Chains A and B, each alone.
Chain A
C-alpha cells in the first residue's frame, strides 16, 4: 500500500472501475497452469472436503470426501488428488535444457504452476502437504504410495510461495491486486468474486454494482478453503447424512459442485485478464529460479530424499530468512525498474526520483578512496520535481543499466548531482552510452536488484554450539508416519 495505490482506489470509486497499479505483468503465467480450488471442513485443522482441479478450463475434475471426518476417505481423496497432480508435476521433469554457467547444468525447460484463489488456498495447500508427507505405504495405517509423494510436492510448492517473486504457487487474488486497485478495501480484495467484479464488471454493470451482486453467497459461493456457514448448515450437513445412510456420495458431490464451479470460472477469467498484460522484463529470470528449484527438488526426490522435517534447525532457519529477505529486495527492485507505475510508489516515498539530465561532467577523473590511480567518475546533474529523501553517499541504481553503481553527491533545491562509479568500459574516458546525456529522462532509485547485503552464515554442519550445534538431519520416524489425523 502506498499513497499511489490509495489514490488509485479513490479513482476506482469515482470511475466505478478498478484502476491500474502496474503497466506490465509481474507474475509468470504458465501456458498450462493447474488450477486448484481446495475446500476444507469448517472447524477442523486440515480436513479436506473437496477440490476442483485441472489444467483444462472446460474439464475440471471434482474430488470430494463424502464424510470428511473419516480418515480413510481423506486419504483416498489425497490419492485421487495425487492421481491428477503427480503426472502434471512430474511431467515437467522430462524436458530439460542446458544452462550455460561456470559449470553448465541441466534445468527443466518448464515447471509446474499451481493457481489457487487466495492466501487461504496457499496455507491449506501447505497443511495438506504437512499432513501427508510423512505417511507411509507400509506399516500401520498404510496409505497409497502416491500420497506421501504428493505431500512432498505440495510442501515444496507452498515453500516456494513464501519467496517473493516466485510463481510456482500463486494466489490469484494477490496476483490481481499487484496489478489493479479496486474501489474496495484490501481486506475485501481477498474475495476473488468482488475483486474481479471491480476489474471486469459484466456488461451493463459498473464495479460497485457488480461487486455487491458478487457478495451474494448463492451466486458467488466463497472461493474457499472455508465454505459458507449457511451452506454447511442447510445443504452440506444433510448431504453428508444422506451419504451415511445410503452410501452414495452423489448428493455430497452435487452440493460441492455448486460451491466450486462458479469459482472455477472466475479463476480462468483472472488468468485471461492477467495474460492480457504484457510480461515484465524480469519475469522470465524469476521463473528460471522456479525452474531451477523444481529441477533440484525432482533430483532430490529421485534420490529418495526425506520429507522436510516438522521444524527447521537454527542455521537453516536463519539461512531461509536471509534468502527470503534477499528475494524480497530483489523482487521489489526488479518490479520498480520494470514498471514506471510501480516506480512512482518509490518516488512518492522519496526513495527514487526521475527527471531530466541538465549537465554532465563526463571527463571527470578522481582518485577513488582506497585507490592510488585516478579513474573516471563522471558527475551527472538531474533536475527533478520529486520529493527526494536521500542523503549524499547513498548508493543508487537505475533501469538504464541495472548493474551500474552510482551515488548521490549533493542535493540542492530541485537539482540532484550523482556520480557514476562503474560500468564505463576500460578506457580512460567512459564508453559511449555508459553515462546519461544532457536532455535524457532518467530515474534513479535506492533499490538494489542484487538483493542487498547477505549476512554471512555458517553452513549447517558448522552450527555453533550456542545454537545447538549441527542439527541432526531429519530422519523419518514411525511416530510421524502414523500421526493421528482425527
Chain B
C-alpha cells in the first residue's frame, strides 16, 4: 500500500478527467487539491462529510441532453462526425473505421485498456495508411505532480494519414456562429489536456508528438436545433499554459514529506472534525473561482474567512491590496494601527492615502 492509498483509505480511487486537470492547472498553488486528486480521493464525498457539500452539480436534464447529443453525433457509424470532419479538416475520405476502446474483451481494467489504447494508436501512427480511423474512449495517462494518473476517456481521437486530432463533443449551442465564451474557453482548456496526454504518449513511444494536432475539433449543436456543427479550436495557448502550470505543481512526494505521520483522509474511519483537521494540515490556496471548479470550495472558503484572508475577496482585490494576505493587516496598515514591515512600506502608504480620500468622499 502506498502512502497515497493510506490517505484515501479503503475506497476505490477516482479517475482524473480533463476538467479536474484543467482546474488543477488553474490553481497550481493549491497543494490540497493536488494531493487529494493524486490520491484519487472522492472530494465530493469528503466535502459532504466535512459538512460543506460542493456548491455545484449537474442537472439530470443537462446530462440527458449531453448524452443524446453525443449519441446523435456518433449514430450510424459516426456518420455525422465523418461529414463534419470532412468539412472542417477539408478531407476527401469517404469512410473511416471506428474502434471503441471503452471495453476491451469485457475488461474495464485501466491497465488493460491503456495498453490497448497505446497499441492501437501506435499501430495507426506507424502504418500511415490513408484510411481514417476513429478511436472512441481512448484511455490516456498523464504525469501530474510526479504521479501517473488515468484520464477519463471522454473524447475521440481521429487519425488520418498518420496525423491525429482530438475530437470533443459538447452540447452547448453555437448560435449565429457564436457560443458562450466561458464554455468555449473551458472546452479549449479541457481539450488541451487530451492533446497534451496524447503527445506525451507519442513521445514515450518514440513517435513525433507534433503528429497530434493542436487544432481540436469541437462538435456542438448549431443554433436552436439538434443538428451538429464543428469548429476547429486552436489550443496552442492552452497547451503552453498547461505545460507551465503542470511544471509548477509541487511534487506530490514533497507534499507527502511534510505531512504528519500516520495521517489519513479516510472519511469512513474519522469523524467530520477529525477529517477536517487532517485536511487542514495540507495548505490550500482558495480563490473564488474554486466555487465553480473544486468540490472542496465551501470548506476552503470557510477556512479563508476564519483566517480573515484577502483570498476570499478574489485575486484582483488581493492584488490591489498589494498582496497583503490578511484583511485585518490591510486595514491596520490603512488606519495606521499596524506598523508596516519593510516590504510593506509602499503599500502601507498607498492604503493610508486610499483610506483618507475614501473617508473624505463618503462623508
Q: Report how far A386 CA is from B354 CA in the complex, Å.
A: 10
Q: Report how far A311 CA is from B178 CA in the complex, Å.
A: 10
Q: Report how far A186 CA is from B289 CA in the complex, Å.
A: 11
Q: Report how far A354 CA is from B353 CA in the complex, Å.
A: 13
Query: Which chain A residues border B354 with CB–CB below 8 Å?
Result: 3-4, 7, 344, 348
The closest CB in chain A to the CB of B316 belongs to A1
**Known contacts A4-B354, A341-B362, A486-B226, A9 near B59 by CB under 8 Å:** no
The answer to the question of B28 belonging to the interface, with a C-beta cut-off of 8 Å to chain A, is no
**Known contacts A43-B61, A187-B288, A208-B305, A6 near B317 by CB under 8 Å:** yes
* Max chain B Cβ within 10 angstroms of own Cβ: one of A43, A188, A229: A43
The reply to whether A43 and B59 form a contact with Cβ atoms under 8 Å apart is yes
The answer to the question of B34 belonging to the interface, with a C-beta cut-off of 8 Å to chain A, is no
The reply to whether A3 and B61 form a contact with Cβ atoms under 8 Å apart is no
Query: Which chain A residues border B289 with CB–CB below 8 Å?
Result: 187
Query: Which chain B residues border A4 with CB–CB below 8 Å?
Result: 354, 357-358
Interface residues of B in 275-320 (CB under 8 A from A): 288-289, 291, 305, 308, 310, 312-314, 316-318, 320
Q: Report how far A13 CA is from B311 CA in the complex, Å.
A: 12
Q: Report how far A6 CA is from B59 CA in the complex, Å.
A: 35
The closest CB in chain A to the CB of B180 belongs to A123
The answer to the question of A141 belonging to the interface, with a C-beta cut-off of 8 Å to chain B, is no
The interface bits of chain A over 209-234 (1 if a CB of B lies within 8 angstroms of the residue's CB, else 0) are 00000010000000000110110110
The answer to the question of A462 belonging to the interface, with a C-beta cut-off of 8 Å to chain B, is no
Q: Report how far A186 CA is from B317 CA in the complex, Å.
A: 9
The interface bits of chain A over 281-312 (1 if a CB of B lies within 8 angstroms of the residue's CB, else 0) are 00000000000000000000000000000110
Q: Report how far A311 CA is from B331 CA in the complex, Å.
A: 50
The reply to whether B55 and A232 form a contact with Cβ atoms under 8 Å apart is no
Q: Report how far A45 CA is from B221 CA in the complex, Å.
A: 9
Q: Report how far A226 CA is from B64 CA in the complex, Å.
A: 16
Query: Which chain A residues border B291 with CB–CB below 8 Å?
Result: 187-188
| Interface residue stretch chosen among B92-100, B152-160, B169-177, B254-262 | B169-177
Interface residues of B in 42-65 (CB under 8 A from A): 55-65
The answer to the question of B235 belonging to the interface, with a C-beta cut-off of 8 Å to chain A, is no
Q: Report how far A392 CA is from B173 CA in the complex, Å.
A: 51
The closest CB in chain B to the CB of A232 belongs to B59
CB distance from B77 to the nearest CB of A (A): 23
Query: Which chain B residues border A208 with CB–CB below 8 Å?
Result: 305
The reply to whether B328 and A3 form a contact with Cβ atoms under 8 Å apart is no
Q: Report how far A6 CA is from B358 CA in the complex, Å.
A: 11
The reply to whether A311 and B310 form a contact with Cβ atoms under 8 Å apart is no
The answer to the question of B216 belonging to the interface, with a C-beta cut-off of 8 Å to chain A, is no
Query: In the complex, which of the residues A5, A7, A387 contacts B334, with contact meaning CB atoms closer than 8 Å?
Result: A7
Query: In the complex, which of the residues B313, B331, B334 contacts A185, with contact meaning CB atoms closer than 8 Å?
Result: B313
The reply to whether B223 and A184 form a contact with Cβ atoms under 8 Å apart is no
Interface residues of A in 219-257 (CB under 8 A from B): 226-227, 229-230, 232-233, 236-237
The answer to the question of B350 belonging to the interface, with a C-beta cut-off of 8 Å to chain A, is yes
CB distance from B87 to the nearest CB of A (A): 19
The reply to whether A484 and B61 form a contact with Cβ atoms under 8 Å apart is no
**Known contacts A14-B331, A127-B175, A229-B57, A7 near B351 by CB under 8 Å:** yes
Q: Report how far A184 CA is from B361 CA in the complex, Å.
A: 23
By size class, the interface of chain A is: 35 or more
CB distance from B23 to the nearest CB of A (A): 15
Query: Which chain A residues border B249 with CB–CB below 8 Å?
Result: none
The answer to the question of B1 belonging to the interface, with a C-beta cut-off of 8 Å to chain A, is no
Query: In the complex, which of the residues B56, B61, B316, B362 contacts A42, with contact meaning CB atoms closer than 8 Å?
Result: B61
The reply to whether B321 and A486 form a contact with Cβ atoms under 8 Å apart is no
The closest CB in chain A to the CB of B326 belongs to A10
The closest CB in chain B to the CB of A230 belongs to B57
* Max chain A Cβ within 10 angstroms of own Cβ: one of B66, B328, B358: B358
The closest CB in chain A to the CB of B305 belongs to A208
Q: Report how far A127 CA is from B173 CA in the complex, Å.
A: 11
Q: Report how far A20 CA is from B363 CA in the complex, Å.
A: 11
**Known contacts A185-B314, A185-B317, A187-B291, A343 near B334 by CB under 8 Å:** no
Interface residues of A in 323-352 (CB under 8 A from B): 340-341, 343-344, 347-348
The interface bits of chain A over 185-198 (1 if a CB of B lies within 8 angstroms of the residue's CB, else 0) are 11110000000000
Q: Report how far A11 CA is from B66 CA in the complex, Å.
A: 44
The closest CB in chain B to the CB of A8 belongs to B358
**Known contacts A45-B221, A341-B362, A484-B225, A3 near B350 by CB under 8 Å:** yes
Query: In the complex, which of the residues A187, A237, A387 contacts B314, with contact meaning CB atoms closer than 8 Å?
Result: A187
Q: Report how far A5 CA is from B318 CA in the complex, Å.
A: 11
Q: Report how far A236 CA is from B61 CA in the complex, Å.
A: 10
Query: Which chain A residues border B64 with CB–CB below 8 Å?
Result: 43
CB distance from A315 to the nearest CB of B (A): 18
The closest CB in chain B to the CB of A186 belongs to B314
The answer to the question of A29 belonging to the interface, with a C-beta cut-off of 8 Å to chain B, is no
**Known contacts A44-B65, A184-B312, A185-B288, A344 near B361 by CB under 8 Å:** yes
The answer to the question of B327 belonging to the interface, with a C-beta cut-off of 8 Å to chain A, is yes
CB distance from B48 to the nearest CB of A (A): 13
The interface bits of chain A over 384-396 (1 if a CB of B lies within 8 angstroms of the residue's CB, else 0) are 0111000000000
The answer to the question of A435 belonging to the interface, with a C-beta cut-off of 8 Å to chain B, is no
The reply to whether B317 and A1 form a contact with Cβ atoms under 8 Å apart is yes
Query: In the complex, which of the residues B61, B355, B358 contacts A232, with contact meaning CB atoms closer than 8 Å?
Result: B61
Q: Report how far A330 CA is from B111 CA in the complex, Å.
A: 62
Interface residues of A in 13-46 (CB under 8 A from B): 13-14, 20, 23, 41-46
The answer to the question of A131 belonging to the interface, with a C-beta cut-off of 8 Å to chain B, is yes
The reply to whether A10 and B330 form a contact with Cβ atoms under 8 Å apart is yes
The answer to the question of A361 belonging to the interface, with a C-beta cut-off of 8 Å to chain B, is no
The interface bits of chain B over 160-189 (1 if a CB of A lies within 8 angstroms of the residue's CB, else 0) are 000000000001110111000000000000
Q: Which 5 A-B pairs have the closest CB atoms?
A: A43-B62, A45-B173, A43-B65, A42-B59, A484-B225
Given A1-B317, A6-B320, 18 more A-B residue pairs with CB atoms under 8 Å apart are: A3-B320, A3-B350, A3-B354, A4-B358, A7-B330, A9-B317, A10-B331, A11-B331, A13-B313, A23-B361, A187-B288, A187-B291, A187-B314, A229-B59, A229-B60, A348-B357, A484-B226, A484-B227
A-B contact list, 27 entries, CB within 8 Å: A1-B317, A3-B320, A3-B321, A4-B358, A6-B313, A6-B316, A7-B334, A7-B358, A9-B317, A10-B330, A13-B313, A20-B362, A43-B66, A45-B223, A46-B173, A185-B317, A187-B289, A187-B314, A208-B305, A215-B55, A229-B62, A341-B361, A344-B361, A386-B357, A484-B223, A484-B224, A486-B226
B residues apposed to A, CB below 8 Å: 55-66, 171-173, 175-177, 221, 223-227, 288-289, 291, 305, 308, 310, 312-314, 316-318, 320-321, 327-328, 330-331, 334, 350-351, 353-355, 357-358, 360-362
